[in-house]
Amino acid sequence: MAFAGVDEEHLSDADLARLLAVVETKPSTGDDQRHRDRVAVLGHGLAWLQPQPNHAHRAAICDLLEAKRTRLLADLGPSHVNIIHATGIEGARQARGTVVVIDVLRAFTVSAYALAGGARECRLVRTIAEARALAAITPGSVLCAEEDALPVEGIAISNSPTRIRRTDLRDRILIQRSSAGTQVVSAVEVSDIFAASLVVARATVQACLLRRPQTLTLLASADHPEDHACAQYMEAIIQGMPPDLDQLLAPLRASDRYERVMSGNWPGFPPTDIELALKADVFEFAMPAVREAGYLRLTSSPT
């Protein structure tokens, strides 16, 4: 797989303080505009993160987050990371470094709400048969699945954030199968993986930077505008830029798919899923994925 080269000029002392970005973009081999499977490599310095807590004790939390951010940057030092953008199964097979697999609508938004709601872990599988078989041998499990973005007969919970929030998951194990997210994360060949969506975007960035990766792959599960928007949102945070989420999500809101969800006529997926999925930085944890026999295990990792 061909990647663009990144040449860094010598930086002044002032520049080193900000660690500004140097950017070059090159299409991947066999670039297909229909699938937008292009690869952008961004060589840049680690920039200031901008946490925006929403809490009654906002000032105190801001002070704590600022201290944490300062320690994080001091630990990482003047380094840089190459960012690769990729899409789908083929992108998963070519992913390098630390890999963040993004599924906003809806799989990894569901995972985040499940873990925030008290689930011990989420177990990700590729097929409905695997999901049923794993549930049968997993005490305390709750099965959550969809196929071709539709509910599955005999499985009460589809991959809907709304439905997950209404389910008591305290100390339970959520077994998930989806048409995009769980397929793509299962196809990643490297070992350092996070599952992500907008609701954990900033926390995921921080968790990735703590690993001091030379390369970070932001992998959209499908060629959907919300997954690309999440990747761009995360990239902006790394660059120290204030991301304009409304602008990034404009292509989604202009799409027929968005209109279908908002109409309330999509079986298993109420319009409130959109509201829950498109909120950024709701939770202050990341979701590392660890391979186990027959599934990938997601847990919440505070940052």
pLDDT at 190: 96
User: What whole-number distance in Å separates Cα of residue 98 and Cα of residue 1?
Assistant: 17
Q: Which residues pair with 216 in a beta bridge?
A: 83, 98
CB 277 within 8 A of CB 106: yes
User: What whole-number distance in Å separates Cα of residue 250 and Cα of residue 163?
Assistant: 26
**Percent of the chain predicted with pLDDT > 70:** 74
Dihedral sign for Cα atoms in the order 281, 283, 284, 289: negative
Tokens of 175: 């077994």
pLDDT along the chain (303 residues), means of 10: 35 31 31 34 36 45 47 47 97 98 97 98 98 97 95 94 96 98 98 98 97 97 98 96 96 96 94 97 98 97 90
Residue found under tokens 């793509």: 184
> Which amino acid, one-letter code, is at 199?
V
Q: pTM here?
A: 0.77
142: helix, strand or coil = strand
Query: Model confidence over 36-72: pLDDT tens digits?
Result: 333 333 333 333 334 444 444 444 444 454 445 434 5
Tokens of 277: 């999925």
pLDDT at 68: 52
pLDDT at 62: 45
Query: Model confidence over 119-150: pLDDT tens digits?
Result: 999 999 999 999 999 999 999 999 999 999 99
φ and ψ at residue 84, rounded to 5 degrees = -115, 130
pLDDT at 168: 97
pLDDT at 303: 83
Pairing mode, strands 173-177 and 121-125: parallel
Give the residue among 181, 180, 179, 216 at the shortest CA–CA distance from 196. 181
- Residues 259-290 as b/e (b if ≥16 CB within 10 A, e otherwise) read eebeeeebebbbeebbebbbebbbbbbbbbbe
User: What whole-number distance in Å separates Cα of residue 293 and Cα of residue 145?
Assistant: 20
pLDDT at 276: 98
